[in-house]
Amino acid sequence: AHPILSVGRDGEGRFLGLAEDGGAPSRRESLIHVHLTRLSGEAARGALEAALEATLADVRAAVEDWKAMLKRLGELVVDYRWGTTPLEPRVREEALAFLEWLGADNFIFLGMREYRFVATEGGAYVDPIGETGLGILRDPEVRVLKRGAESLNAANAIGAFARSPEPTMVTISNVRSRIHRRVHMDYVGVKLWGDDGRMTGELRILGLFTAGAYTGSVREIPMVREKVARVIEAVGLPAGSHSAHALLNVLETYPRSELMQIDAATLQSFALAILALGEHPRIRVLARKDPFDRFVSVLVFVPRDRYTTDLRRRIGEVLEGRFDGKTVSWMTAHSEGPLTRVHYIVGRYRGVTPEVTQADLEREVAGLVRTWRDDFALAVETLDDEGVVRDKLARWADAFGAAYREAMSAAVAVGDMGVMEELDASAPFAVRFYRRDGDPVERIAAKLFQLGAPIDLSRRVPILEAMGLRVIDESTYRVAPAGGPVVFVHDMTLAHGAGRAIDLHENLIGRLEDMVAAVFAGRAESDGFDALALTAGLDRREVAVLRAVARWLRQARTPWSQDYLWTALRRHPGLAVDLVALFRARLDPAPSENREAAEARVRARMEAALERVASLDDDTIVRRFMAVIGAMVRTDFFRPDADGRPRDTLAFKLTPEKIGDLPRPVPFREIWVCGPTVEGVHLRFGPVARGGLRWSDRSQDFRTEVLGLVKAQQVKNAVIVPVGAKGGFFPKTIEPGMDRDAVAREGTAAYRTFVGRLLDLTDDLSDGAVVPPPATVRRDGDDPYLVVAADKGTATFSDTANAIARAHGFWLDDAFASGGSAGYDHKKMGITARGAFEAVKRHFREIDVDPMTTPFTVAGVGDMSGDVFGNGMLLSPAIRLVAAFDHRHVFLDPAPDTAVSLEERRRLFALPRSSWADYDAAKISAGGGVFSRTAKAIPLSAEARALLDLDAQHATPAEVIRAILKARVDLLWFGGIGTYVRAATETDAQVGDKANDAVRVTAAELRARVVGEGANLGMTQAARIDYGALGGRCNSDAIDNSAGVNCSDVEVNIKIALAPAVASGRL
């Protein structure tokens, strides 16, 4: 708002008030009212007031001296028309026309000052003549030419102007206008002549060209038209031709301020370069330095479809850096053609303008203009022939999203593309470790590629952190190639967990990538041992050796946790390296030197290093590792698998007595199998030993379970020649919630791996000669005898074991595993249960009970799918099974119908796989039922409470199981896995079955009249003694189990005896 008001003021200009029309003396003033954001502080308000006063002062100076400046211009015109000058007539006339054109409303005069020309030996300079200043140049402090804060009197440029034939010069001043437009004012320099025709000085005119100067034809503007004509003439295009019209258009659309300033030669060069863009559009950068070295004027042509504000800004930053200046203005011109022109003025404030070639500038601008996709196409074109490149671009050009393109260069994308092209359903994962440019030495990065679906952060992070790395940041990118499945790229920023530098050489990259890929493929485990790849330089399989030793130590009841073990080795990476060296010295089939000497040297080095270990625990742990490795007599580590690849599951044969401090009895030999899918152990108490293989559910201490079983096996085997042996394995891939079929598949696969590894470390026989395993060092002599049998969980696996033996070419063939289709099927025969039931019948006869005719109550451990429990509960029609439990369910039937329940048990036994949940509820007596062991509580009916002697209406599954074990029944039948009864003098820890600590009872609490055991270890030996002393009737489990052992022995002996006849074809 700016109303015109009549204002009264005193002699000093102070406001007196508004005057009435026709009243007291007043003057007309324009009141300008402007709303501003709030200014904070007096300093800001003072600065604004000073700026306004300076602007008004410029306006007053320019207005007051307007006529004087026009008058001086007129005098200059007269001097040029009539005075003595060395100018040629044509040049004089053009100069006159230009000066007159300026005065004809084509220039806003804001300031004028004359300068005296002074020639020296070093060049020339000009001195301002102070009294000649008009307009804003009244103020002697205002300098037309300056660089930064300093005045500029460029001798070379002034001398060059003085020597040139041109009478005028147009350029840009350093002074920004505060009037009309906030831009740098145009500076017109006009030579002044003395009476003798010599140049005496210069009149400098400051102001702004008006709109007419920018809109009029270049052929009508004096001085400009002369330059244009010279360019057209020099180029020599035929008049009226298309090219001539195009050249004229280039000149008409050339930035008008530039036309005023540029010399004809440079204009010709630039005009031709621009003209060529019409035929071949491309990036073009045309830079011109100001004669006084204060500015660089740069014309930049870029593709119109690529032009953005951000591109304009980034090009400006490049120019600023190249010319060591600051962009003071820019102007964009969009034409109908394919290019956009941006005119930059780069201000210079110090030093000499750097020399920059046009090619360098265009190369840099092209790099900015080029899109990521352009760069990607160029990078792909270097890979292969045209056809392959075309196919790759069709598939991958649009695959990468904006986030990926922002973060990754096209060259990086081509590398990632190569990785992703290798992914398929059989190998959906890949990983690449690298270091980004500029990252510190303790930081690296990893890209994880996954086909089809992203990998949860909760899965990625623990794996990387287990390797001794710390995850700092991550970004996930979705890459969608045409016609192919989506790939997710997880870019992880990592640092050394302890903040140390990481020497990311090729070997380390290979080790880390192999380790991560193996973990995600399920071919390796992930835990703290993995950090030894980073800290000790071990590869994945060398780490697996130390992990396997640690897992064996856990099974051997070491007092330390796995975390404590790997922490100790990570504290002493050099000793970890030496442990692997010790392993290689003992068992590598291709040693580089004498094996004993190499082992002695490693041990000596380790002993010296251990002297420097301050922690007793660390010292003891390393020595335990040394002892286990020192007890190894065979391994399949150095033997490739059937496909020629390194093995992921490792097997070691040990002589345990060399280790020391082990739970007794100590086996003669032991094979330890450890891998990502299975762990297992096989204990033998002599060169010729037999025993079953058990599917254990005790992940932490199955060796303790097997050791307990083999004690009984020793006694059982007293009736045959071979001594006792026992094996157990734990499948590691079974997840909670898996259905029965999935559990069976995983368990069978684990059994196959376990049995295969046992055979891999066993000698073979051929024509009576021992054939050692390939690529295997044997430090225990010949050892070709290995016979196994079915056990809990493996009753139907004998055919599988024998097929593995046959595939190995093992000399025992189907005598390797007793039972199966070509042997005695223990489950079908029910031999183990029948043998145990004979012992039960004897116990009952001693108390005048015939268990075949007199109904008797039974509580049991197991379910009808099992060999021992299932067969046993079908051996008498008088059985009244009132309660049972296994690892899944609790079964209660307080008053069963003897005949009906027998038929239902027979139905369940005939199913391929069954559980108590399959029991027909309609055939359970009142108050009974089947309950899950995972339930929070089990409701107890009056009948169930009476059966179990419990008062509460609800009890936990553990409470119910303890009550079943203590139930007042005739027979307690053990047909499942676990030790459920101990002596009062024993602790649960001494029993060594942690899984059943919560339900175990003492022998004194048993109220069953008889205990029968077709399984093993249902009671500790001390508990059997206590129970017998209290009047209970039971045998050693070895006695109850002996029928199965004897049956297997008969089968194996027959097969061995008849093997030669079979081999020769006589049978």
C-alpha triplet 722, 726, 728: angle, nearest 5°: 160
Distance CA 637, CA 572 (A): 24
Q: In 3D, which of 1012, 1009, 995 has the Cα closest to residue 961?
A: 995
Distance CA 472, CA 863 (A): 51
Widest CA span of the chain, in angstroms? 157
Pairing outcome for strands 199-209 and 4-9 = unpaired
Signed CA dihedral, 565, 570, 575, 578: sign only: positive
**Would you say 765 and 716 are in contact if contact means Cβ atoms under 8 Å apart?**
no
Residue 1055 bears catalytic tag = no
Secondary structure (3-state) at 729: strand
SS (H, E, C) 95-161: HHHHHHHHHHHHEEEEEEEEEEEEEECCEEEEEECHHHCEEHHHCCCCCCCEECCEECCCHHHHHHH
Signed CA dihedral, 351, 357, 358, 360: sign only: negative
Q: In 3D, which of 205, 254, 226 has the Cα closest to residue 106?
A: 205
**Would you say 1038 and 713 are in contact if contact means Cβ atoms under 8 Å apart?**
yes
Tokens encoding 551: 């897992």
Distance CA 35, CA 40 (A): 15
Contacts of 625 (CB under 8 A, 6+ apart): 546, 549, 550, 553, 569, 579
DSSP state of 20: P
DSSP secondary structure letters along 400-464: B-HHHHHHS-HHHHHHHHHHHHT-BTTB-EEEEEE--TT--TTEEEEEEEEESSPPPHHHHHHHH
Distance CA 567, CA 563 (A): 6
SS (H, E, C) 576-639: HHHHHHHHHHHHCCCCCCCHHHHHHHHHHHHHHHHHCCCCHHHHHHHHHHHHHHHHEEEECCCC
Q: 76-84: long-range contacts at Cβ-Cβ below 8 A with a sequence spacing of 24 or more?
A: 76/190, 76/192, 76/203, 77/103, 79/192, 79/193, 80/167, 83/193, 83/195, 84/193, 84/194, 84/195, 84/196, 84/197
Tokens encoding 130: 């102070």
Distance CA 785, CA 793 (A): 24
Secondary structure (3-state) at 348: strand
**Would you say 679 and 735 are in contact if contact means Cβ atoms under 8 Å apart?**
no
- Chain center to CA of 610: 38
Distances (CA, A) of 153 to 115, 161, 247, 286, 293: 11, 13, 37, 27, 11
DSSP state of 357: -
Alpha helices in 168-308 (DSSP H): 211-215, 224-235, 242-253, 256-261, 264-279
Secondary structure (3-state) at 48: helix
How many C-beta atoms surround the C-beta of residue 328 within 10 A?
Answer: 16
Q: In 3D, which of 974, 801, 972, 816 has the Cα closest to residue 882?
A: 972
First CA to last CA distance, the chain: 121
Distance CA 565, CA 825 (A): 44
Active-site choice (726, 792, 827, 841): 726
Q: In 3D, which of 460, 465, 522 has the Cα closest to residue 488?
A: 460
Distance CA 537, CA 509 (A): 11
Which residues are designated catalytic?
726
